[in-house]
Amino acid sequence: MSAQAACTFAATLALCCLVAIPSLAAQPAPAPAGMEKVELADGVYLFRVPPDGYARANTTVIINGRDVVVFDSNVRPSTTRLVLAEIRKLTDKPVRFVINSHWHPDHWTGNSVYAAEFPGVQIIATEETAEFMKRVAPSWPAVFAGGFKRREAALTEAIKSGKNADGTPFTADQRRDTESSVELYRSFVAEQTTVARVFPNLLYRDRLTFFSGAREFRLSSQSGDALSSTVLYLPKEKVLLMGDLLVSPIQWGTNSYQITPWINSLKALAALDIKAIVPGHGAALRDKEYLHLVIDLFESIVAQVHAALEEGAVIVDDVQKVVNLDSLRARFTHGDAELEADFNATMPGLIKIAYKESRDGMESRR
């Protein structure tokens, strides 16, 4: 029983009030459930946020001598407010810059929270990122509402039939997990329909370097899961914030056909002196091993896709059948069944990107 729970017993009320409350008052409130804070270097904190119904993108907070810089701002403003409350436990300095790594919603929707709290905050992104935001974001409320309808319909059907879409039994555990994830998605969609989107107001093209006191921030535009993504390197601390150029523990890719420029960006970044890497999603990495693993994966996919096409493969399914990633799968999953399922679900998307890139974007049918 916790000290707080014990306080509910009348017999111990006086003791608790005398002992527990003063010590609690001296402590900051605990982080919300699911929020994880990792200090990567002096004043550099990764916040891994609680499940949000979308993709739990990372936020990194850098506390300088006189101000604070935030890299990526979450998909739900309610999550951003949790991060801001955590920042307030660390410092009362103002957030001066928010950096948006790319245009996908899980990396910038919370801009509105910082803009409201810190008038004049500079929100940094590449010019192309800002253009994509303006053109794609208006579609999101409709896209997410459609996604919710499909999830809800699939759940209703599984309950009715007692089976998953692949014919396997829909177990009680699966029903409980699916119901709670549909519910979480419902609240995510509701928040997206009312959100006020705040766009970047400080744009750059290739590189941007600035200083806050002695701390140097090197931003560069790189190719990744989104075109013209921003990567931040702190040269003194040797910390690299990669946005969705890198996702752990299984790399995914949603861009349409851009894998070779992505490989080139990963290789250039792997040449940096690095003590910590923050991927767009997943735990911080303390060495370059995973970065090299993703480069190996991409290069293997590209080489195998090229070989299949040169042998006469026509449609993307032909290519999917012959690309063999068994040894790479083992290096990502180490036999973990859940990671294997993720890997198997994710690779067709990467293979399709390589197929389309190899054919200048064209996807053929028989």
Contact set with Zn ion (CB under 5 A): 57, 104, 106, 244, 280
Nearer to Zn ion, 121 or 243 (CB): 243
Nearer to Zn ion, 102 or 329 (CB): 102
Q: Which is nearer to Zn ion, 47 or 170 (CB)?
A: 47
Q: Which residue, chain included where needed, has tokens 């690309």? A: 323
- What is the number of H-type helices and E-type strands within the chain? 12, 12
Among 331, 320, 254, 327, residue whose Cα is nearest residue 291: 331
Least Å distance between CB 280 and Zn ion?
Answer: 5
CB of 269 vs Zn ion, minimal distance in Å: 17
Peptide bond between residue 249 and the one before it cis (omega within 30 degrees of 0): yes
Residue partners of 285: CB distance under 8 A and separation at least 6:
248, 276, 277, 278, 279, 291
> Which is closer to Zn ion, CB of 164 or CB of 181?
181
Q: Cα(354)–Cα(335) distance, rounded to whole angstroms?
A: 26
CB of 108 to Zn ion, least distance (A): 10
Q: Which neighbouring-strand residues pair with 151?
A: none
Work out how close the CB of 146 gets to Zn ion at its nearest, in angstroms, rounded to a whole number.
20
Our CB check for Zn ion shows the closer of 108 and 114 to be 108
**Minimal distance, residue 164 CB to Zn ion, in Å:** 27
Question: Between 64 and 126, whose beta carbon lies closer to Zn ion?
Answer: 126
Listing DSSP states for 16-76 in one string gives: HHHHHHHHHHHSPPPPPTT-EEEEEETTEEEEEPPP-SS----EEEEE-SS-EEEE---S-
State in angstroms the smallest separation of the CB of 104 from Zn ion. Answer: 5
Within 13 A of 75's CA, how many CA atoms are on the CB side? 25
